[in-house]
A and B are shown apart, each in its own frame.
Chain A
Amino acid sequence: MEAGHDGQAASTIGPADLAWSTPAAADHRTVPAVSVAVIGSGGAGAMRAGEILLEVAAVAGFYGLMTRAMGPQIRGGEAAALLRIATAPVSSLDDHFDLLIALDWANFNRFAAEIPLAPTTVVIADPAEGDVPEAVLASGARIGRLALKDLARAVPGGRTNMVGLGAAAAMVGLPSEIVAAVVSGQLGRKGDAVLAASVAALKAGADAAAALPAISRLAAPLHDGVARWNISGNQATGLGALKGGVSFVAAYPITPATEVLEWMAPALAKTGGMLVQAEDELAAINMVIGASFAGAPALTATSGPGLALMIESLGLAVASETPIVVVDVMRGGPSTGIPTKSEQTDLNIAVNGLHGDAPHLVLAPNSIADCLFTTQWAVGLAETLQAPAIVLSDQALGQSRAIVAPPREPPAASGRLTVPARDHVPASYRRYAETESGVSPMAIPGTPGSTYVADGLEHTERGTPSAQAADHATQLDKRARKLEGFDYGPSWADVEGEGEIALLTWGSVTGPAREAAAQARARGIGTRLISLRLLLPAQPARLAEALRGVRKLLVVEQSHGRQFHKFVRSCYDLPAEVAVISHPGPLPIRPAEILDQLAAWE
């Protein structure tokens, strides 16, 4: 199945061929989490090594997270797989890496800032790849020289990344038999020769690692009996859309949203739906509007530049009351910006970009697993409320992969209110009828007796174009009321912990904030975490309740212009003392800088 990771295929090469001697656990302190970076020029296989390492950790019973740092090049650019493997669920990368494996140093300086090192870090460097960069030496990290390339060359068909992977797995303390099982599952179909070469390269790396400086090894996994998924944020978004009932997707390719579409295209084809590649984003959103008008729950996925192009038609979906979902996997902006790296800077346009008074839904997943929950919830809300929903994911969620417990599901949505077939030909059907909730029954084409014209022009209750003040006021009230009056339930935000200090955040930055809150609590600093999932419509009464007793509020976001801070200021009453941690991408927000502020306040 193309969905998810590969299964284990039968092979004649098995665990017995890959037994390496791991140092006795007593030789090392064990720790609950280990962070590993694998870097190399594009095509060197750093990403592949990282993905295998994560899957090994998953099969071995650990949790984990892998993010990607990449340049814009299609081939030959720099690439880094950034992992954290742990005995408990992982919400963010750590403040520094314990192990850095450099397959080469090409273009390392372009992302050195994204790979913080410490004196406790062990760096595995191949002397054949030249001098260790000054930035690495300056960190005080211990350097372990390992002839990755020579060891790979010594194995016919051996690859450098497999040598590095073997070394990493051994140093972290992952069981060799699971490494063998995962690798044979992923490479077995390529034939025994390829597999044998990989296994030999892995073993060469693992054996050589024994002579290198040691890092703290992972403690034993928890064996908590909980099933694990290995999933990326973009895949989780696609699955959430599918589970929400989406049967039509039209989209235009754009980084970093394309994987949502790549996952959905074959999945829709097997579930009675379809994905259409449109000629541009203007076509994509209008195809989606057309499909939804015709009765199919519909979605498009894009990034900031595409969302900008779609804005006019989002207003059309508002005015015509056509349910649609637009997923924006955010990247650095403005303009083409930094397409491959994350930033939370489409908040302004998502919330305020539409012209006119245009009430709509804006939601944001706050973890990789939550991409499923929030997207599925957004589809249900859009359908129920006959309104467009923007889902703000980002590159850090979308293109990262995590080992997680199976994601939870949103509450069942009531779905689209439609008109039953009628046998007469009434002039009486009022598509935009005033109702108490603001939601009016929608006639789906094909329904006899209820033909009407959906319109982006302001209209009467029947849908006839109207420029009259009373009609405008009625329809504006109706469209606002249906969103503001709806009971969104407890999913509007994640509210965790107690204390007089609170963190207020959203989206992918929730990960480091959650980690910092946990660390603060472990130090005895009572800390509340509030992560907004429903950004529009704002929920003032709910936030006031969540903030009850909070004296100091720390707003955390990833933007240069403090977009989230300004947004919450405009919608909410905040405690008297507010601090803000806000910096632009591509540097992630790290737990330590949040914890520093919390500790300073205590």
Chain B
Amino acid sequence: MDAIASLSAQDFKSDVKPIWCPGCGDFAVLTALAKALAELGRPRESIALISGIGCSSRIPAYTSVYGFHGVHGRALAVATGVKLARPDLTVIAAGGDGDGLSIGGNHFLHACRRNVDMTYILMDNQVYGMTKGQASPTTAPDWCESKLTPSGTGVSPVAPLHLALASGVNFFARGFSGNPNELARLVVAAVNHPGFSVVHVLSPCVTFRSEQRAWKQSVHGADAAPAAHPAEALARFADDDGFTTGILFAGDREPFMPARTTTMAASDFERGFAVRTPPGSLAAASPA
């Protein structure tokens, strides 16, 4: 087992070189995640980091914990299976806005309402980077830089906060890759909060959305303690500009974890199928 006290943030990184472009916000997310894992003080082998497909979904390979890099959109489903099968593990899912809110949108909705005790780091850059710059579900309707939608999508973006609150999320924080220390604190708080927690990270794509470099002027901290009721949070953030950082909602729903009991062995169920013979009948059904 890892000697916990001696683990630094660096110990939670692997020697694999990220494929990300220079200046990508995801580097800072990796730094913040490693710092948060060191801060949490849990052994590396007790942590499972699960992802789907996309630039940000590459992150498990760059860490030194157990990881699973699956197919596009299904990170939360895999993570749910891991946590339900192994409640002793710390389970973190990670991915981008396309992976989590478009192809995996149904799983996001149901992960929020199912409330399994795990954390989802949603790295949002409002673009599909790996396929070279298409609009995502969080892209503004008038963004015209994609060859697929040269006149803009004309479609309203999803607000992850509102979607999560409406779906029953138990914890929602927003961070910015430009402030990795705050982000690390948010990840620690999310992991420590019981139930399903989302850390929505504004993580710029400097390649296809270079204007996102200006996000550092847009972000601002939340000016109040986290809302404790979804309705309160929805009211407070109804007109949110999407750049409010901090813990925005912290609920107290009981996490989902079916009770496990072992009162029977598999072979005990065979009795239920054996034809039972009434005493004194003509039947021949006696054990061979």
Binding site for B on A (CB under 8 A): 1-5, 7-8, 55, 58-61, 175, 177-178, 181, 221-231, 235, 239, 242-243, 245, 247-248, 250, 267, 269-274, 276, 278-280, 282-284, 286-296, 298, 312-313, 315-316, 320, 403, 405-406, 421, 423, 425, 427, 443, 445-457, 463-465
Partner of B81 from A225, A231, A239, A288 at Cβ < 8 Å? A288
Is B269 in contact with A248, judged by CB distance below 8 angstroms? no
Q: A287-B78, A289-B78, A453-B60 are in contact. Are A313 and B84 (CB under 8 A)?
A: no
Report Cα–Cα, A288/B2, bound state, in Å: 28
CB contacts (< 8 Å) of A242 on chain B: these are 266, 269
Is B66 in contact with A451, judged by CB distance below 8 angstroms? yes
Is B84 in contact with A287, judged by CB distance below 8 angstroms? yes
CB contacts (< 8 Å) of A449 on chain B: these are 45
Is A228 in contact with B285, judged by CB distance below 8 angstroms? yes
CB contacts (< 8 Å) of A245 on chain B: these are 266
Is B66 in contact with A445, judged by CB distance below 8 angstroms? yes
Is B86 in contact with A446, judged by CB distance below 8 angstroms? yes
CB contacts (< 8 Å) of A226 on chain B: these are 284-285, 288
Report the interface size class on chain B. Answer: 35 or more
Report Cα–Cα, A278/B256, bound state, in Å: 13
Given contacts A270-B262, A291-B86, A453-B66, 6 further A-B contacts (CB under 8 A): A2-B272, A59-B275, A59-B278, A283-B110, A448-B2, A457-B69
12 contacts between A and B (CB under 8 A): A225-B286, A225-B288, A226-B284, A228-B275, A229-B273, A248-B81, A270-B261, A283-B106, A286-B71, A294-B48, A296-B86, A449-B45
Is B69 in contact with A453, judged by CB distance below 8 angstroms? yes
List the B residue with the shortest CB-CB distance to A58.
Answer: B275
Is B82 in contact with A270, judged by CB distance below 8 angstroms? no
Report Cα–Cα, A359/B69, bound state, in Å: 20
Partner of B263 from A270, A283, A447 at Cβ < 8 Å? A270
Report Cα–Cα, A322/B46, bound state, in Å: 19
Q: A225-B288, A239-B270 are in contact. Are A298 and B85 (CB under 8 A)?
A: yes
List the A residue with the shortest CB-CB distance to B3.
Answer: A425
Give min CB distance, A404 to chain B, whole Å: 9
Q: A316-B71, A448-B2, A453-B67 are in contact. Are A294 and B85 (CB under 8 A)?
A: yes
Is A59 in contact with B270, judged by CB distance below 8 angstroms? no
CB contacts (< 8 Å) of B266 on chain A: these are 239, 242-243, 245, 267, 271
- The answer, yes or no, to whether B221 is at the interface (CB within 8 Å) is no
Give min CB distance, B164 to chain A, whole Å: 16
CB contacts (< 8 Å) of A272 on chain B: these are 260-262
Report Cα–Cα, A267/B283, bound state, in Å: 29
- The answer, yes or no, to whether B238 is at the interface (CB within 8 Å) is no
Report Cα–Cα, A60/B60, bound state, in Å: 62
List the B residue with the shortest CB-CB distance to A245.
Answer: B266
CB contacts (< 8 Å) of A61 on chain B: these are 282-285
Contact with A along B56-99 (1 / 0, CB 8 A): 00101100111111110110011111111110110000000000
List the A residue with the shortest CB-CB distance to B107.
Answer: A283
- The answer, yes or no, to whether B281 is at the interface (CB within 8 Å) is yes
List the B residue with the shortest CB-CB distance to A315.
Answer: B71
Is A274 in contact with B260, judged by CB distance below 8 angstroms? yes
CB contacts (< 8 Å) of A7 on chain B: these are 276
Is B70 in contact with A320, judged by CB distance below 8 angstroms? yes
- The answer, yes or no, to whether B277 is at the interface (CB within 8 Å) is yes
Is B86 in contact with A445, judged by CB distance below 8 angstroms? yes
CB contacts (< 8 Å) of A274 on chain B: these are 84, 258, 260
Report Cα–Cα, A173/B119, bound state, in Å: 65
Is A250 in contact with B81, judged by CB distance below 8 angstroms? yes
